[in-house]
Amino acid sequence: MRTRRIAAPAAAALCLSLLAGCGGGDDSADGTVTLEFLSLAWQKESVDANKALVKQWNDTHAHVKVKYVQGSWDNVHDQLLTSFEGGEAPDIFHDDASDLTDFANGGYLADLTPYLPASLRKDIPRASWDTTTYQHATYGVPFLQEPRVLIANTKLLKQSGVRVPTAAHPWSWDEFEAASRRLTRDTDHDGTPERYGVAWSMKEPVSQSVNLSLSTGGQIFYKDEDGKNEIRYDAADSAVAQLINRQVNKDRTAPKTGLGMSGSDTLPGFFAGRYAMLPLNFSYRQQVQQQAPKGFDWTVLPMPSDAGGLAQGTAPQTLSVSQDSRHKQAATDFIAFLTQARNQVRLARGDWLLPTSTQALKDPALTTDTYGWRTGADIATALRPSPVLGVRGYAEWKDKVATPAYQEYYNGAFGIDELRSRLATDGNRILDRYQR
């Protein structure tokens, strides 16, 4: 999930300049409706695909036109909040599911339930719809999703002799640890390997620590008997975090320096053979493909699994309609067009992501072995809503409690009992404040 926080005055300025007033759709004298669509596409292929689809819509709809407005992931939360509060929000906007809870609680989002066509409801799986459903209302259409995968050096895998996992036969987490040990090399036995089996990039540790807990049967965020959110941090919830701590501080199969890195920061070491495997978001394949040295052979593997199978949490990208839009049905009709299976394929390939559409995932362009597309398509059915979705107070818990706690724990500053106390005990105090 993406972090989007800027000061309110800056957000207001951006809103005014970027959205030209952030006004919603207008009606012309002849009855033609113009809807504003705020898109966060940023890669050229994705922007081109979005603009082409808007043109296709406009060419085939005489009385409902769509105006494409370019936005940015860097500031969309505050930009939208400013436009909502000013009554000048775009009719249709692109965001991700992690934003929808607060906006829904603020009354800013239209419930799309009465407007969605049955065909779209059927094509996108229930697990994906659950990411945008809050208190029995649907506040967005989930259309692009991104699992975490292992990007591995093919040559080193072959040399090590480890079994290469597939979505049908993934590694267990124990097998992953064993493979990491086989792939690690410390030829002079000085305790500092020349090559590490894996590098965990933990500059932003929270979402991956939470989302991967599903693979071991945990989830960290639960409902108590009264239906309120609560944090637990039992063995299943902490298993992946303990493994990472073990690899960094005990087995030395993962470098401590990786803990302060972003995913992009780990790529030079990966290309140089310093790290054999990288747990990264699916879209990083594009950077690998573009930046890898000539002749560098790499592959995409599923993340390990245990009690939860290949399950992991995701917060998909979404398309929503503003509550203040005067043309909710027309806006939803455009979203339904944009998220048709064939169009989701175009958008997914432009961003190197996965579509949520069941039909789109069968497209030959997404089932090819090239660049690991097939691995992504094969694990897509195992993706589940991130446990943090729908949890009011999550952002505060993440910033004030979880981020520093995970960073210190992974660096070996304290043990699992202290981590459990901080995440659960301190965290529940925060959640309770939002649920009084």
Q: pLDDT tens digit string along 339-392?
A: 999 999 999 999 999 999 999 999 999 999 999 999 999 999 999 999 999 999
- Distance set, CA 44 to CA 37, 52, 119, 349 (Å): 18, 12, 30, 11
Query: Does pLDDT of 22 surpass 80?
Result: no
DSSP codes joined into one string, 178-242: HHHHHH-B-TT-SSS-SBEEE----SS-HHHHHHGGGGGT--SEEE-TTS-EEE---HHHHHHHH
Residue range 301-307: mean pLDDT, rounded: 96
Summarised one tens digit per residue, pLDDT across range 25-37 is 566 667 899 999 9
Which band of pLDDT confidence, cut at 50, 70 and 90, is reported for residue 14?
Answer: very low
Residue 7 confidence (pLDDT) above 70: no
List, as one string, the DSSP characters of 41-61.
Answer: --SHHHHHHHHHHHHHHHHH-
Strands 148-153 vs 196-198: parallel, antiparallel or unpaired = unpaired
Residues with Cβ within 8 Å of 96's Cβ and at least 6 positions away in sequence, in order, are: 1, 2, 315, 316, 317, 318
Residue 3 — very low, low, confident or very high, per pLDDT cuts 50/70/90?
very low
Q: In the predicted model, what is the mean pLDDT of residues 22-48?
A: 82
Whether 24 has a pLDDT exceeding 70, the answer reads: no
Taking the alpha carbons of 40, 48, 343, 290 in that order, is the dihedral positive or negative?
negative
Q: What is the pLDDT of residue 26?
A: 62
Question: Would the pTM of this model clear 0.75, i.e. be above it?
Answer: yes
The reported pLDDT for the residue numbered 191 is 85
CA distances for 1 relative to 74, 135, 196, 268, 388, angstroms: 12, 22, 27, 24, 11
The angle at the Cα of 406, spanning 400 to 408, to the nearest 5 degrees, equals 95
pLDDT on residue 15: 43
- Three-state DSSP class for residue 273: coil
What residues does 151 pair with on adjacent strands?
278, 300
Tokens representing residue 53 in the block: 């689809």
Report whether 84 contacts 106 (CB < 8 A).
yes
268 Cβ partners below 8 Å, 6+ apart? none
Residues 115-128 have a mean pLDDT of: 97
Two tokens, residue 386: 């991130």
Quote the pLDDT of residue 29: 63
How would you classify the pairing of strands 312-314 and 383-385?
parallel
